[in-house]
Amino acid sequence: MGIFDQAKDALGDPSELVDKAKEAVGDPSELVDKAKEAVHEHADKIEEGVEKVGDFIDEKTGGKFAEQVDKAQEFIKDQVDGD
């Protein structure tokens, strides 16, 4: 018996593992919907955090990467606002 056969015997049918994972976690599309809802509900806190992180990076780098940081902040804010 080869190593793959041994692994298959030990783990069982892969489709059963997938079914078990779905039972434990739920439908992936529901998780995405929940994540979007959480982002929407906490958009102001997320944007505030993004701003603080950007300020921290600018402070620690002496503003050397301010342009890139600003672009990243705008991108994230657009993603949060646009869901």
Please check the confidence at residue 18 and state whether its pLDDT lies above 60. Answer: yes
Say which residues have a Cβ less than 8 Å from residue 63's Cβ, sequence separation at least 6. Answer: none
pLDDT of residue 37: 92
Residues whose CB is less than 8 angstroms from the CB of residue 36 and which lie 6 or more positions away in sequence, other chains included: 83
34-69 tens-digit pLDDT: 899 999 999 999 999 999 999 999 999 999 999 999
Q: DSSP string of 9-43?
A: HHH--HHHHHHHHHHHH--HHHHHHHHHHHHHHTH
**Domain extents for the chain?**
1-40, 42-83
